[in-house]
Amino acid sequence: MALIEAHALGKSYGANRAVDELSFVVHPGSVTGFLGPNGSGKSTTMRLMLGLDRGDGRTTFDGKAFSELEHPMRHVGTLLEAKPFHPTRKARNHLRMLAAANRIPTSRVDEVIELVGLASVSDGKPRKFSLGMGQRLGIAAALLGDPDTLILDEPSNGLDPQGITWLRNLLKHLAGEGRSVFVSSHLLQEMAVLADQLVVIGRGKMLANGAVDDFISHSSLGAVEVRSPDANLLGPALDALGATVTHDEATLIVRGVTAEQIGDAAHDAGARVHQLVTRAATLEEAFLEATGLSEEFRGSGVDEGGHA
Amino acid sequence: MIDALRYEYIRLRTIRSTYWLIGLAMSFQLVMSLIIAWRMSVSTHPPKGNDAFDILATIGASTGFAPLFIAYIIGLLGVFSTGHEYRHGMIRATLTALPNRSTVFVAKVVSTALIAGLAALACIAIALASALVFDLNMPSTDELVNLTIGTVTFTTLFALSGLAYAAITRNQTAAVALLMLVPTVVEQIIRAIVLAIKTSSDDPQGTTGIVKILRFLPYDAGGKMYTRATLDDLLSFLGYIPFGPLGGGIVMGVFVSALLAISYVLFIRRDA
């Protein structure tokens, strides 16, 4: 059992409200993705959950605040920084130090080093590590106490494609064992195949919270493509249903109604239909739609062709 | 608390700066102690009484004309105990392993105090060995105890002030600068200003007035714990009467305690 309950988390920097009344639950046995544009407050939220930043609200792990947990690394594994270690302390010693604080046997240090694939460099100094190797060491630290909860901030940063696949399989496996995994990432395609649930924030406020499929299906960017030689009959019938219809050459792009509703309307209007294809929005489209007005930092206008 | 101390113990053991700072301090103490002891042994006017031991143990700082070198070296360990946490982004890893901030802070204070005290004790041992090797006068029991207490206390308080500077500034470079500059530059500037005002006053040789401030310069006052004859003696005609070893130690102790109290409150309240 590893239930995370965040209630009314809040944090201000001067007049800027970085995190505002965020409440959500992360259930055991699931991977919950934490999404938001740059500067939306994801990292701050994670630090608030762990009591590292001072702010409002309360987060409990199976009913206890992080600071109330005895030997917290045995309950909650965390990765918050890209390279959270002294550059000249050997990787293995870094983990030994953390293990000592939580009464974790040294044999477990060797296990996690092996697990993350750093056995050959465990006696090396992290200053020579690439970003990806640093992330693996951070993941090893998070797994050190064999915790039932993981809170990981951008764990795939710097990992190569093989590393990303390895991490995805690892997190899915850990969730499959009944653990709670709360993970932020900018890699939306990766999150689409990794996460079961989503918490989406923008400018510190909750934008969406629920199952990934629900989040995507609620996007208005999902559409039904209709090919019909009787578009002049079908168009008004769809308008009457309240659908939004756009024309793309011989295809009607219909939003706001289901394929079944379109089929029924075509039948009633006596319009022939040659093709009826439901196209769901991608997670990226749904995310961009949800966070469109919540970007903290926005570049100058560049179109898809790369033209300013 | 035991877990936090275990963490600090492995932290200190697994980082190079611990070894090279202690190694540098001990090497300096050993080499200088042997050279000075040898020169004393061949001198036609060797130091009498406790002087040989006092000079060897403090490498001349007991005369008041030099700083206690090992305190400055070991003091860096105090700075690093907290400074490394912020310089290398370790503080969040530390506080997710040990979320009780009071425990973390106390463990750092205890480990820094222990290591500084032991290093100062080692310097005393080296001085005694050097005096023995070159057949110099051994100190009286009283002097041995007093100088040992003074040197150990000063070095420990000095290192703890380094820890506090790092915790307050959360910047290792700034903390090192403060630890080096406050005793050697800032206090000297204050002294110069106070004496300039005193000499131009209506009562330049009186023991009252602004000159009393000088007794409360913390590192200078703390130095009275290991100095036996000082530059300050030459300033007595200006009415400057410093505290003795106990009073000076209390002044420095209060100052360092205040620094630690401020750093503790900030450590508890601030974001990690």
Percent of chain A with pLDDT strictly greater than 90: 46
Cβ neighbors of A79 (< 8 A, separation 6 or more) are A135, A138, A139, A141, A142, A150, A151, A152, A153, A155
What are the residue boundaries of the structural domains of chain B, listed by start? Answer: 2-181+256-269
Is residue B97 within 8 angstroms of chain A, CB to CB? yes
Grouping H, G, I as helix, E, B as strand and the rest as coil, residue A211 is strand
Nearest chain B residue to A73 by CA distance is: B97
| A229 vs A231: CA distance, rounded Å | 6
The residue-averaged pLDDT of A175-193 equals: 88
pLDDT band with cut points at 50, 70 and 90 for residue B262 = very high
What percent of chain A is modeled with pLDDT above 70?
94
Q: What band does A254 get if pLDDT is binned at 50, 70 and 90?
A: confident
- Residue B222 CA: distances (Å) to CA of A127, B60, B219, B261: 40, 16, 5, 19
Contact B272 A52 (CB under 8 A): yes
Instruction: Please give the C-alpha separations between residue A176 and each of A27, A148, A167, A196, B88, in angstroms, as whole numbers.
Output: 12, 11, 14, 11, 35
Token digits of residue A96: 């030994």
pLDDT value of residue A220: 66
Within 8 A of B99 by CB-CB distance, chain A residues are 50-51, 66-67, 69, 72
Query: What's residue A298's pLDDT?
Result: 61
Q: Which of A119-123, B60-64, B202-206 has the highest mean pLDDT?
A: A119-123
pLDDT level of residue A294 (50, 70, 90 thresholds): low
CA B176 to chain centre: 13
Q: Is A270 exposed, middle or buried (0-12, 13-18, 19+ CB in 10 A)?
A: exposed
Distance of residue A127 Cα from the nearest chain B Cα, in angstroms: 11
Which residue of chain B is at minimal alpha-carbon distance from A69? B99
Please list the alpha-helical segments (H only) found in B170-217.
Answer: 172-181, 187-199
- Would you call B9 an interface residue with chain A, using a CB distance cutoff of 8 Å? yes
Task: State the Cα–Cα distance between residues A87 and A95, nearest whole angstrom.
Answer: 13
Residue A276 CB neighbour total at 10 angstroms: 17
Q: What angle in degrees, to the nearest 10, is found between the helix axes of A91-101 and A131-143?
A: 20
Burial B118-152 (b: 16+ CB within 10 A, else e): ebbebbbebbbebbeebebeebeeebbebbbebbb
Given its phi and psi angles, is residue A242 left (phi above 0), alpha (psi -120 to 50 degrees) or beta?
left
For B163-176, the pLDDT digits (tens) are 999 999 999 999 99
- In total, chain B counts a number of residues equal to 272
Query: What is the pLDDT, as a whole number, of residue A122?
Result: 86
pLDDT tier, B230 (very low <50, low <70, confident <90, very high otherwise): low
| Residues of chain B above pLDDT 90, percent | 60
Round to whole Å and give the CA distance between A148 and B18. 36
Contact A34, A80 (CB under 8 A): no
Query: So what's the pLDDT on residue A232?
Result: 85
Sequence-ordered list of residues with C-beta below 8 angstroms from that of B23, at least 6 positions apart, any chain: none
pLDDT-derived band of residue A297, with 50, 70 and 90 as boundaries? low
Residue B237: per-residue pLDDT: 64
Stronger pLDDT, B50 or A303, i.e. the higher one: B50
Handedness of CA A116, A117, A123, A125 (dihedral sign): negative
A8: three-class secondary structure by DSSP: strand
| pLDDT, average across residues B221-241 | 73
Task: Check B92 against A47: CB less than 8 A apart.
Answer: yes
